[in-house]
Amino acid sequence: MERKTIYLCLAHMSEDGVEQKYVKEAFDTNWVVPLGPNVNGFEADLERFVNGGDCHVADATRNDVHDGNTDKKVVALSAGTAAVHLALLACGVGPGDEVLVQSFTFCASSHPITYLGATPVFVDSEPETWNMDPVLLEEAIKDRIAKTGRKPKAIVPVALYGMPYDCEKIMEVANRYEIPVVEDAAEGFGSKFDGKVLGTFGKFGVLSFNGNKMITTSGGGALICDDAESKNNIMWYATQAREAYPYYQHETIGYNYRMSNICAGIGRGQMTVAQAHIDHHKHVQALYEDLLADVPGVTIHRQPANPRYDSNFWLCTVTLDPSLKIKGQENAYKEVIKTAVGGAAGVIHAVDTATTDCQPNENVEALRVFMLEKKVEARPVWKPMHKQPVYKTAPAYVNGVSEAIFKVGMCLPAGPYVTDDDVRYIVDCIKEAIEE
Ligand SMILES: *Cc1c(COP(=O)(O)O)cnc(C)c1O
């Protein structure tokens, strides 16, 4: 039988098709708009979840029912990127301002800073979590104040691949300088620190429900807010900032960022399997840790032994020793790539060179190609933003950690579709790829 490609992380609907039930309800009741019962229900589910309750609210009409330790509110939006954008806006970020952001991330953490006419200031990572280094963060704050005479307007730490940042130290530094924190927990849905869900530590928390994330609404996101007033403010900006007149009256620039009732229906269904997804990702990580333990030159990225950390392991990642020889390595980067790596979104610029001045080592590229031939999607880890040409003029506080990991790191498949057999197959392929 021919093998199906094992993708990095794919959307996975519930076995009993609850998503379709909610979507059908939206059609049947003619709520095919960016508001409605599914949006409210999904927000109630999310509020319960982030506040420490379980995933699913059987009766979503019960507002504010949770048994957790916080009382955060959640706004459903059209994308995680929109959530970052509106969170920064609500922190008062505007033209000429600076925002401190983790460099080791996907571009959606930093691009909205530039949408607002502000400048991202990149902060490098600590080696344990691969996330924002709190010591470097404080150095950056001091130096920005010394250089510009002004405090950065916000701090954006990122739960890369689901791994929690050091919430205690990041919040401690942020509070000392009284700078609001926008937690980018887009990849860290359900990850916890000290038993508390990521996204509930800062002033705002960003979630993403893109097709490849822990749960999906096909595309979508949400912003975790402190209280009803903050939620209302975000909702207002997300619906074109209308004033309460009988006609359209605009005194502020708004955005069309509300989640559609159709997407929210998928989200409500996904909430019934969210915990199962998280458990499965953790299970896959444990299996990789076990099976890769005796593969020399390949190191699985683990969470710190400190029990305060509880990663969802959205993606599992490994690093390759630079001395490791992979079959076909001599041909790495010899050809210009015709399709984007994992280019699910489709639309990309064609490139005319096979290399850039900062790229993964040849053995990493060779392993990616080898795995692709084995029908396994493996992908380099995200390229740090301070090494991206588009941000070459942005200030950066670096310690070499993210750039070093970029050269040796690789993401492995981890979604709900990945079976134990798949993990064994993937590890066997990696062993086969290594030159004796
Ligand atoms: C996915 C992601 C986002 C938000 O993405 P959307 O696709 O707009 O939902 C933000 N930050 C990070 C780190 C992400 O991985």
- Ligand 1 binding pocket includes 78 (Cβ within 6 Å): no
- The predicted structure's pLDDT at residue 34: 84
Ligand 1 neighbour 106 (Cβ under 6 A): yes
Pick from 156, 184, 315, 379 the residue to mutate for probing ligand 1's pocket: most ligand atoms within 8 Å of its CB. 184
Ligand 1 midpoint to CA 185 (Å)? 9
Tokens in use for 254?
């708004």
Which tokens is 395 given? 């200030």
The predicted-structure confidence for 14-61, as pLDDT tens digits, reads as follows 988 999 999 999 999 999 888 899 999 999 999 999 999 765 544 444
109 C-beta closer than 6 A to ligand 1 = yes
Q: What is the pTM of this model?
A: 0.94
More confident residue, 322 or 337: 322
Residue range 130-164, pLDDT digits in tens:
999 999 999 999 999 999 999 999 999 999 999 99
| Of the candidates 232, 138, 149, the residue with the CA atom closest to the CA atom of residue 179 | 138
Give the per-residue pLDDT at 351: 86
Rounded to 5 degrees, φ, ψ at 418 are: -80, 115
Q: What is the pLDDT of residue 377?
A: 95
Q: List all residues 6 or more positions away from 140 whose beta carbon is below 8 Å from its beta carbon.
A: 100, 121, 123, 152, 397
183 lines ligand 1 (CB under 6 A): no
pLDDT confidence of 62, banded at 50, 70, 90? very low
Band (346; pLDDT cuts 50, 70, 90): low
State which amino acid sits at residue 232: N
374-388 residue pLDDT tens? 999 999 999 999 999
Give the C-alpha separation, 92 to 94, whole Å: 6
Give the strand order in the sheet containing 204-208: 73-77, 221-225, 204-208, 182-184
For 182-196, what is each residue's pLDDT tens digit?
999 999 999 999 999
Among 284-288, 355-359, 428-432, the minimum mean pLDDT is found in 355-359
Q: Is 53 exposed, middle or buried (0-12, 13-18, 19+ CB in 10 A)?
A: middle
The pLDDT of residue 350 is 83
User: Measuring CA to CA, how many Å separate 329 from each of 58, 76, 277, 326, 430?
Assistant: 53, 45, 35, 5, 14
Q: Are 138 and 170 in contact (CB under 8 A)?
A: no
Mean pLDDT, rounded, for 301-323: 97
What is the predicted pLDDT for the residue at 68?
Answer: 56
**In this predicted structure, what is the pLDDT of residue 337?**
74
Cβ(267)–Cβ(47) below 8 Å: no
Mean pLDDT score, 110-128? 98
CA distances from 251 to 120, 245, 248, 256, 257 (A): 28, 12, 10, 16, 18
Reply yes or no on whether the pLDDT at 1 is more than 70: no
Instruction: Compute CA distances 414 → 237, 256, 324, 400, whole Å.
Output: 35, 33, 24, 27
Tell me the C-alpha distance between 352 and 336, whole Å. Answer: 6
For residue 185 and ligand 1, the question of a CB distance below 6 A is answered with: no
Nearest to 189 by CA among 51, 314, 102: 314
Give the C-alpha distances (Å, rounded to integers) separating 393 from 359, 388, 396: 19, 10, 9
Convert the pLDDT of each residue in 215-224 to its tens digit: 999 999 999 9
Residue 409: pLDDT above 50? Answer: yes
Query: Residue 247 Cα, ligand 1 centroid: separation in angstroms?
Result: 35
Distance 412 CA to ligand 1 centre (A): 18
Q: What structural domains and CATH numbers belong to the chain? A: 18-274 (3.40.640.10), 275-433 (3.90.1150.10)
Percent of the chain with pLDDT strictly greater than 70:
94
Count of all residues that appear for the chain in the document: 436
* pLDDT > 80? residue 106: yes
Instruction: Please state, rounded to an integer, the average pLDDT across all residues of the chain.
Output: 93
Q: How confident is the model at residue 80 (pLDDT cuts 50, 70, 90)?
A: very high
261-271 helix and 18-28 helix, angle to the nearest 10 degrees: 150
CB of 81 closer than 6 angstroms to any ligand 1 atom: yes
pLDDT at 100 over 90: yes
Q: How far is the CA of 81 from the centre of ligand 1 (A)?
A: 6
pLDDT at 340 (0 to 100) = 60
d(CA 181, CA 13): 33
Nearest-atom number in ligand 1 for the CA of 159 is 13
Query: 106 CA distance to ligand 1 centroid (A)?
Result: 7
Question: What ligand 1 atom has the least distance to the C-alpha of 109?
Answer: 11
